[in-house]
């Protein structure tokens, strides 16, 4: 295994770009990255594992949706720094519910393929909302509130986070449950916009919360203050 892994030129970069093709028709489904551990897992299991830059962890393709990729071949390029794998794709490759991630025509911005699978229930509302926010980054600010926030920049985004946090606080003080839920939803949305602006996946928040289950709240707070 180490001999195989050493064929990759890891000195150029720690993350290996990986092009993913459908084994039946050679359609390009997606592009992702593998670190050395993800590549080793993929080689051992013949199931695609990648390293997510936004989640900052290894993820098994389809771990949430069940849309796994069974790998049939691994091919390294002539510079030993890019990988091509051919896979059998269960379900769809793209988190939008489309077969391929390459569905937008660059010059016109036209969407060329339709959604095949409703992924909302698979990923949960927070992850789905985050991905939707990401797709709005380059939308028309005149037709999308999210795009308008991105266009105005981080000061406007942070102002909205503070504003919504204040409104939630007032609803709490007023003991208004309906308004608390409404303002908490607004605050969550604007926090996700801020995270998306920095390309930080909410999965990293989940990872941090999971980590904190293993230590007491007081110990965790003390560790940040030391």
Given 119, 154, 185, the domain boundary residue is 119
Q: Are both 131 and 113 inside the same structural domain? A: no
Q: Are both 99 and 132 inside the same structural domain? A: no
Given 119, 135, 150, the domain boundary residue is 119
Q: Are both 71 and 111 inside the same structural domain? A: yes
Under 8 Å between Cβ of 43 and 27? no
Q: Which domain range does residue 56 map to? A: 2-119
Which pLDDT does position 107 carry in this prediction? 87
Q: Are both 13 and 73 inside the same structural domain? A: yes
**Average pLDDT value for the chain:** 92
Report pTM. 0.75
Q: Are both 106 and 175 inside the same structural domain? A: no
Using alpha carbons only, give the angle 202, 145, 99 rounded to the nearest 5 degrees.
55
Given 97, 119, 141, the domain boundary residue is 119
Structural domains of the chain, count = 2
Q: Are both 43 and 138 inside the same structural domain? A: no
pLDDT digits (tens, 9 = 90+) for 15-59: 999 999 999 999 999 999 999 999 999 999 999 999 999 899 999
Q: Are both 71 and 37 inside the same structural domain? A: yes
Intra-chain end-to-end CA distance of the chain, in Å: 42
Instruction: Give the pLDDT band of residue 216 (cuts 50, 70, 90).
Output: low
Provide CB contacts within 8 A for 160, sequence distance 6+: 149, 190, 193
Which pLDDT does position 219 carry in this prediction? 53
pLDDT digits (tens, 9 = 90+) for 128-160: 899 999 989 988 999 999 999 999 999 999 999
| β-sheet bridge partners, residue 88 | 70
Instruction: Give the pLDDT band of residue 76 (cuts 50, 70, 90).
Output: very high
Look at the alpha carbons of 31, 37, 41, 43 in this order and tell me if their dihedral is positive or negative.
Answer: positive
Under 8 Å between Cβ of 82 and 16? yes
Which pLDDT does position 205 carry in this prediction? 95
Whether pLDDT at 225 is above 70? no
Q: What is the CATH number of the domain that holds 43?
A: 3.10.20.810
Half-sphere exposure (CA, 13 Å, Cβ side) for 101?
14
Query: Tokens in use for 167?
Result: 């409104």
Q: Are both 174 and 76 inside the same structural domain? A: no
* 54 alpha-carbon distance from chain centroid: 6
Q: Are both 91 and 131 inside the same structural domain? A: no
Q: Are both 191 and 160 inside the same structural domain? A: yes
Q: What is the CATH number of the domain that holds 132?
A: 1.10.287.1080
Under 8 Å between Cβ of 99 and 29? yes
Q: Are both 23 and 66 inside the same structural domain? A: yes
Query: What value does the CA radius of gyration of the chain take, rounded to a whole number of Å?
Result: 21
- Backbone conformation region of residue 216, classed left if phi is above 0, alpha if psi is from -120 to 50, else beta: beta
Q: Are both 92 and 145 inside the same structural domain? A: no
């Amino acid at each position: 295994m180490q001999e195989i892994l050493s064929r990759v030129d890891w000195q150029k970069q720690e993350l290996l770009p990986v092009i993913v093709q459908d084994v039946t028709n050679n359609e390009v489904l997606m592009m992702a990255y593998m670190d050395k551990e993800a590549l080793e897992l993929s080689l051992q299991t013949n199931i695609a594992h990648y390293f997510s830059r936004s989640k900052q962890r290894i993820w098994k393709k389809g771990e949430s949706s069940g849309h796994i990729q069974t790998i049939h071949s691994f091919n390294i390029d002539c510079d030993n720094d890019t990988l091509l794998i051919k896979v059998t794709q269960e379900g769809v490759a793209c988190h939008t519910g489309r077969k391929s991630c390459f569905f937008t025509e660059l010059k016109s911005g036209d969407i060329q393929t339709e959604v095949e699978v409703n992924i909302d229930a698979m990923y949960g509302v927070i992850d789905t909302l985050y991905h939707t926010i990401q797709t709005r980054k380059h939308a028309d600010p005149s037709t999308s509130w999210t795009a308008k926030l991105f266009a105005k920049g981080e000061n406007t985004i942070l102002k909205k986070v503070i504003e919504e946090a204040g409104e939630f606080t007032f609803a709490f003080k007023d003991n208004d449950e309906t308004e608390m839920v409404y303002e908490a939803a607004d605050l969550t949305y604007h926090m996700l916009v801020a995270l998306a602006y920095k390309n930080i996946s909410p999965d990293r928040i989940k990872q941090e919360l999971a980590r904190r289950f293993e230590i007491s709240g007081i110990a965790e707070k003390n560790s940040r203050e030391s």
